[in-house]
Amino acid sequence: MQELISVKSSNIEAVGYNNDDMILTVKFKNGGVFAYEGVPAKAVAELHASESIGKYLHSNIKPNYICRKVEEDESADS
């Protein structure tokens, strides 16, 4: 899994992006980790630039991209 970068959000702990596979990984403060597939780099840049990362994720990422829960062993550091 790609490196996750801490973000300033009340609900999201960190995000990471794999440009080759177009996968956005989001780690929530409750411990859940989710991968959003097919997310273009432009949307990830907009996510980071948004005033509220959580609101952007909810409005622009969640409804438009396939999501899967990442299992514990997938999110462990290599």
Is the per-residue pLDDT at 27 higher than 80?
yes
Q: How far is it, in rounded angstroms, from Cα 15 to Cα 5?
A: 5
* Nearest of 20, 12, 75, 1 to residue 47 by alpha carbon: 12
The residue-averaged pLDDT of 29-33 equals 93
Higher-pLDDT residue of 20, 77: 20
Closest CA to 57 of 36, 71, 29, 72: 36
Mean pLDDT of all residues in 12-40: 96
**Domain boundaries along the sequence of the chain:** 5-71
Distance CA 78, CA 67 (A): 23
Using alpha carbons only, give the angle 1, 64, 5 rounded to the nearest 5 degrees: 30
Residue 25 has pLDDT above 60, yes or no: yes
Chain segment 42-65, per-residue pLDDT in tens: 999 999 999 999 999 999 999 999
Average pLDDT, the chain: 91
Instruction: Reply yes or no on whether the pLDDT at 72 is more than 80.
Output: no
